[in-house]
Amino acid sequence: MADRPQLFEQTSQYQHWRFTRESLSKLRTENNRLGVDRVLHGLRQEAKVDDQETSDTRIAEATKNLLTPEEELKLIDFYLQRIKIYVTIYRASKLLKPDALDNVKATAINFMKRFYLHNVVFDYPPKNIMLTCFYLATKVENAFMKIEDFIRPLADAEAKRGSKTQTKSDDVLGLEFIVIQSLQFELAVHHPYRAVYGFYLDMQTFIDEKDALRETYDRTAHYIDKSLYTDLVFHYQPSQIALGAFKLAAKEKDLDIDLYLTQRFDARSLELLYRVLDEIQDGITTFAATSNDEAKEIDRKLILCRNPEKNPNSTLYKKTVAVQGDVPYVSDSDSD
């Protein structure tokens, strides 16, 4: 038979969302540079409609506090970690089916990572983007809930904290189109969870220590969860990440899965696979989450350097709305 394409090669994830480390960092630096330009341009525009003196100090403050690409990443990462917390909240209130949890979480995280490949936090602060990505992910992963149900736990938590602002359904839905557009309308995401379960089944053919294998499999979830926050998903296939997580778990549980690999695959392909697996294991183990304090610091800086064109609290934005008469939706998370 002539060479037929493989199924995974047809996925949008494989075709459009794979990058090298260099291209990824280049993309982010470039986005950051353009974002900074937009912020300064916006502030100068604002100076025309606002009190000259306050504008000058604002521009000066903003230039001092502009975020670097690294800071952007850290802030995004902080909100990625929050997704994990939200998942437990919705699970506790029985709004998410237990078997959809992993996929919703992973898809939401992936959406957010993809979104910030083409956007910057100056324009869209991550807090609301996170909620929109989360809500979108519940729909994509067939775990849909009503927007009222989605908002209620958030509003409750805010009321408990005594926060001034309250999340409204418009905050989530208004950004939805912007997010989907930035995702280039490609909503199917493939995660290592399915692959790792497949490996668990396949390994049973070659590995006799059933209990140890089961324990190892149960442990893999921990490493896969960790891998979601890294950039590994932009470099490697879900199956490779799954196997990397399996190796880490096996090391911990003292199980020899090389036995499986050497029997299952031929030596030449293993050579490549081992190199890839080493890189993935490195990526997972070296990952460190952003701490609360760090995130707070960056968040504070972000308030000063937001793009006024997209900030509903800015004078420029209010003026534009007044002139045009319609409300382009922007995210409001400044006052938090």
Partner 1 sequence: MSVLASALKQEIPAFQADDDTCPQCKSERYLNRPMKLLVGPCYHKMCEQCVSQRFDAGPAPCPVCERILRKAEFYQQIFEDLTVENEVRIRKRMAMTFNKRQEDFKQLKDYNDYLEMVEDITLKLLYDDDTDEAEYMIERYRRENTSIIERNQSKLLRDETIQRLAFDQEQQRKLQQREEHLRLLAEEQREKTDIKNSLITALATSNMDAKDIVKAKMVQLKKSSLSARNSLRSARFNIDDMLADMDDDDELDEDEANNAPFDPAESPYEPVNIKLLDRYDDPKNTAFRQGGLTAAGVTREMHQRYLIEGALAGLFVSPLEEDAASSEEQ
Given the structure tokens 């006799």, which residue do they identify? Answer: 208
Region of residue 142 (left: phi > 0; alpha: psi -120 to 50; beta: else): left
Please report how close the Cβ of residue 239 comes to partner 1 at its closest, in angstroms. Answer: 5
Please report how close the Cβ of residue 118 comes to partner 1 at its closest, in angstroms. Answer: 12
Please report how close the Cβ of residue 198 comes to partner 1 at its closest, in angstroms. Answer: 3
The smaller minimum CB distance to partner 1, of residues 115 and 134, is found at 115
Please report how close the Cβ of residue 71 comes to partner 1 at its closest, in angstroms. Answer: 23
Please report how close the Cβ of residue 27 comes to partner 1 at its closest, in angstroms. Answer: 7
Please report how close the Cβ of residue 202 comes to partner 1 at its closest, in angstroms. Answer: 5
Largest CA distance in the chain: 76
Which amino acid would we find at residue 220?
T
The smaller minimum CB distance to partner 1, of residues 64 and 97, is found at 97
Angle at 183 between CA 180 and CA 187, to 5 degrees: 80
The smaller minimum CB distance to partner 1, of residues 270 and 321, is found at 270
The smaller minimum CB distance to partner 1, of residues 47 and 232, is found at 232
The CA distance from 291 to 216, in Å, is: 29
Please report how close the Cβ of residue 242 comes to partner 1 at its closest, in angstroms. Answer: 7
The CA distance from 293 to 66, in Å, is: 18
Q: What is the DSSP letter of 144?
A: -
The smaller minimum CB distance to partner 1, of residues 39 and 213, is found at 213
Write the CB contacts of 245 (distance below 8 Å, at least 6 apart in sequence). Answer: 192, 196, 220, 223, 224, 227, 280, 284
The smaller minimum CB distance to partner 1, of residues 74 and 219, is found at 219
Tokens read off for 19: 């990058």
- Nearest one of 188, 191, 289 to 240, comparing CA atoms: 191
The smaller minimum CB distance to partner 1, of residues 204 and 292, is found at 204
Say if residues 257 and 247 touch (Cβ distance below 8 Å).
yes
Angle between helix 292-304 and helix 69-92 axes, rounded to 10 deg: 120
Please report how close the Cβ of residue 75 comes to partner 1 at its closest, in angstroms. Answer: 24
The CA distance from 25 to 117, in Å, is: 10
Tokens read off for 15: 């075709």
**What ranges in the chain are assigned the alpha helix state H?**
12-16, 21-49, 52-65, 69-92, 101-118, 126-140, 147-161, 169-173, 176-182, 192-203, 210-228, 232-235, 238-253, 258-264, 267-285, 292-304, 315-324
The smaller minimum CB distance to partner 1, of residues 9 and 53, is found at 9
Residues lying near partner 1 in the complex (CB under 8 A): 2-10, 14, 18-20, 22-23, 26-27, 99, 194-199, 201-202, 204-205, 210, 214, 235-240, 242-243, 265, 269, 272-273, 276, 279
Please report how close the Cβ of residue 8 comes to partner 1 at its closest, in angstroms. Answer: 4
The smaller minimum CB distance to partner 1, of residues 39 and 233, is found at 233
